[in-house]
Chain A
């Protein structure tokens, strides 16, 4: 009996529709104090009553159109957003891989950025220190590590970011469309590393449009549509549902009753 590592219960998340509120300052303040839970025309429901249980050993693919809520769902699991209603819990602190090199400073050297980015990812200095040789090796940037980052090309920055971000094997891995970066050679090596991380991670949730990749790694899949969990099942069924012809519409389980 494997343990549940990610548990979402009726997660609802609403975004304000306008980035800059033109309403009077007092009203936006009152709305904030009320917890922003007022349901008005001004909000956009990014996730609507999403429940999901992921167990140890599962690799779950998230499929859905642009803007359906895939990345938002991953951010909820990672703790970046807090659900307005419902709850999101995990067994370990998850690692979300989406865009490498967050918090890089162009005036610092490659070394310094490796430590800085590592600590932003949650790894204390001694941990990065121990992993540094491996990071430099994998990035292939040993001749540039003492140079400030502003002298790096964007590909080199991505390589350094990727090498740091993937240096520690997490228990719970969340992937957002990030299967390879850099030039052809590095892209190949980085996809290989992601694949091996997928194998070793105890739990994986992966959002992607690349059905080929999902096919190789996923044990099951879910379809997110307009913020709702529209379908769950094997990747094949979910892909069919995505394309508009779910295999057995009559038997489709309402998401809340699954599991």
Chain B
């Protein structure tokens, strides 16, 4: 297999890092991802190897943290609101994992330029690959972590249903929302580091404003102003993941689903366009 990038002479002079229009950015990102698949794969491989360095035990450690957090939440809920429904521990565990997935992608992609300064200043390759690679790594890791639901399902005798297909869909929508926002903010972060700190607070607040401790069904039962929380675009994909595993249909109106899906897709498209447009000119501010 020839190494075409550096050894096959082109026929005309080209810019190594061509400019894109705001609209053309998305197409360029798509071509970059295809051309540099091997690099994304190697970044993902690195992230997984480093994360699960001690083989099986490494994987269990990565489960223990969300499980402990869920345990604390279940205890708190019991103290504050009385005995929860029997599936509540499973709901919280899935909620913690999916919100953790969102927050990690958001924070890693915001730091994708500032955190890779050394590489960026030595070698050129499309910089969107940093964010895309960390989103891919987190998708793999979260999928593996969601296997923690299996013992719950065995215990509660929940059989897998067709709703299970909502899980990958929810993960992809949630990932698009986080990556889109993160890519757009990565350019700002390079100019002004306040953005990263702000994101930490948003992720922390979102733990309560998104359906982690509560479910959409609970919010609907409560009614009133709390329903505005369902405007949070993360609510629908997170409920997709949760109800996909427990085998329930989405308790949400089609209008709200459409709103949330549109938010995720638009955020991703706009974020990718902004990143592609401004990435080159913020690099020198690193």
Contact = CB atoms under 8 A, between A and B. Distances in A.
A167 to B, nearest CB: 10
Counting contact residues on chain A (CB < 8 A from B), the size range is: 35 or more
Given A120-B39, A122-B5, A126-B1, A90 B16 contact: yes
A257 to B, nearest CB: 21
Contacts of A79: 15-17, 124
User: In terms of DSSP, what is the predominant structure of the interface of chain B?
Assistant: helix
Given A78-B16, A80-B283, A82-B281, A125 B6 contact: no
Contacts of A21: 191-192
Contacts of B17: 79-80, 82
A164 B282 CA distance: 29
A80 B38 contact: no
Nearest to A176: B122
B57 interface: no
A24 B240 CA distance: 41
Nearest to B5: A122
Contacts of B124: 78-80, 93, 96
Given A16-B285, A107-B53, A102 B119 contact: yes
A88 B15 contact: yes
Interface in B1-20: 1, 3, 5-10, 12-17, 19
Interface string B247-286: 0000000000000000000000000000000101111110
Contact of A89 (B15, B46, B280, B282): B15
Interface stretch (A27-35, A208-216, A220-228): A27-35
A175 B14 CA distance: 20
A108 B122 CA distance: 21
A84 B283 CA distance: 12
Interface string A89-121: 111111110110011010110001001100111
A174 to B, nearest CB: 11
Nearest to B8: A92
A103 B119 contact: yes
A116 B188 contact: no
A171 B283 CA distance: 26
B46 A32 contact: no
A25 B192 contact: yes
Residue of A80, A84, A87, A125 with highest tally of chain B CB at under 10 A: A80
Contacts of B125: 120, 122
Contacts of B245: none
B9 A91 contact: yes
B282 A168 contact: no
Contacts of A16: 284-285
Contacts of B43: 116
A172 B49 CA distance: 34
A82 B123 contact: no
Contact of A124 (B3, B8, B46): B3
B3 A122 contact: yes
B42 interface: yes
Contacts of B122: 80, 96, 98-99, 102
B3 A168 contact: yes
A99 B49 CA distance: 25
B187 interface: yes
Q: Which of A19, A78, A79, A116 has the most CB of B within 10 A?
A: A79
A150 B285 CA distance: 31
B118 A82 contact: no
Given A4-B13, A16-B284, A102-B123, 18 more contacts: A15-B284, A20-B193, A28-B192, A36-B281, A79-B16, A81-B284, A91-B13, A92-B7, A98-B122, A103-B118, A108-B49, A112-B45, A112-B49, A119-B38, A119-B39, A120-B119, A122-B6, A122-B123
Interface of B: 1, 3, 5-10, 12-17, 19, 38-39, 41-43, 45-46, 49-50, 53, 118-125, 187-188, 191-194, 278, 280-285
6 contacts: A32-B282, A88-B15, A89-B13, A108-B50, A116-B46, A122-B6
Closest 9 CB pairs of A and B: A79-B16, A89-B13, A79-B124, A82-B280, A79-B17, A124-B38, A170-B6, A119-B42, A122-B5
